[in-house]
């Protein structure tokens, strides 16, 4: 199921926090990738379908530096095959002692039109990656080459990233707080609900900053709160 444009636009305007709540209502409580942070929290939302790369622990006899000369090396192959508009999600087993990738590979993803890159490990050249025009998320900087600890094995298979199951085609959303994984079949309805929730939360924030109590307002159990919200929507066009 391809991500439609309206859903993508909606997801670009909502927070991972709001998306977590919408998924929680459906019984999905483990969709926020743990211990992964944006290199540049000021970039806009990252939205795209997951394209995955899986690492296993490196075995020294299989991972000399010469493996990068192989044009079919899974890491290099994944960088060249990740579709434009997708988000590359890397399973590094939550091990940031060696890099998942560096600035050259992330630059290549950027110029190919990839929407973002996520690892539960670390990136080398992280200051340079932070300056690129592509959202990137990791656990922490890591200078050692990936071959030190990681062996790239599988491309576009189900993986785990930061304790979250990620299936190819799942919808990945990142913001200044982190990254959430939305099952593909739920993306449209989650995006719509999150858009509605965001409008209400913006209304509530305005009211609270004016001094209004949250009781009866959040959640809106008082009839007056519901009336006030509808009046606010009519006024703001939200």
* DSSP letter string, 100-140: EE-HHHHHHHHHTT--EEEESSEESSHHHHHHSSS-EEESS
Per-residue pLDDT of the chain (238 residues; tens, 9 = 90+): 689 999 999 999 999 999 999 999 999 999 999 999 999 999 999 999 999 999 999 999 998 999 999 989 999 999 999 999 999 999 999 999 999 999 999 999 999 999 999 999 999 999 999 999 999 999 999 999 999 999 999 999 999 999 999 999 999 999 999 999 999 999 999 999 999 999 999 999 999 999 999 999 999 999 999 999 999 999 999 9
| Residue tagged 């290099």 (tokens) | 76
The CA–CA distances, whole Å, from 154 to 68, 75, 79, 158, 230 equal 16, 9, 13, 9, 50
Task: Write the burial class of residue 17 (CB in 10 Å: 0-12 exposed, 13-18 middle, 19+ buried).
Answer: middle
Under 8 Å CB-to-CB from 84, ≥6 apart: which residues?
A: 112, 113, 114
Query: From CA 183, how far away is CA 186, in angstroms rounded?
Result: 6
pTM of the model as a whole = 0.95
The DSSP bridge partners found for residue 181 are 172
Determine if residue 216 is left, alpha or beta; phi over 0 gives left, psi from -120 to 50 gives alpha, anything else beta: left
The CA–CA distances, whole Å, from 232 to 13, 116, 218, 224, 236 equal 19, 35, 15, 12, 6
């Amino acid at each position: 199921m391809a991500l439609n444009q309206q859903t993508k636009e909606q997801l670009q305007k909502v927070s991972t926090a709001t998306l977590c709540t919408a998924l929680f209502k459906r019984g999905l409580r483990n969709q926020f990738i743990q211990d992964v942070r944006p290199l540049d929290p000021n970039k806009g939302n990252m939205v795209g379908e997951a394209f995955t790369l899986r690492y296993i622990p490196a075995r020294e006899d299989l991972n000399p530096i010469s493996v990068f000369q192989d044009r079919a090396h899974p890491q290099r192959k994944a960088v060249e095959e990740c579709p434009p508009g997708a988000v590359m999600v890397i399973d590094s087993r939550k091990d940031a002692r060696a890099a998942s990738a560096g600035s050259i590979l992330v630059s290549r993803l950027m110029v190919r039109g990839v929407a973002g890159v996520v690892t539960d490990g670390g990136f080398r050249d992280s200051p340079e990656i932070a300056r690129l025009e592509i959202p990137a998320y990791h656990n922490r900087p890591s200078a050692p080459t990936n071959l030190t600890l990681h062996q790239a094995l599988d491309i576009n298979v189900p993986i785990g990233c930061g304790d979250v199951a990620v299936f190819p085609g799942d919808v990945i959303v990142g913001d200044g707080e982190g990254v959430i994984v939305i099952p593909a079949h739920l993306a449209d309805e989650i995006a719509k609900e999150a858009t509605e929730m965001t409008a209400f939360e913006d209304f509530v924030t305005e009211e609270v900053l004016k001094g209004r109590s949250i009781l009866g307002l959040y959640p809106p159990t008082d009839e007056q709160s519901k009336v006030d919200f509808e009046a606010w929507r009519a006024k703001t066009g939200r």
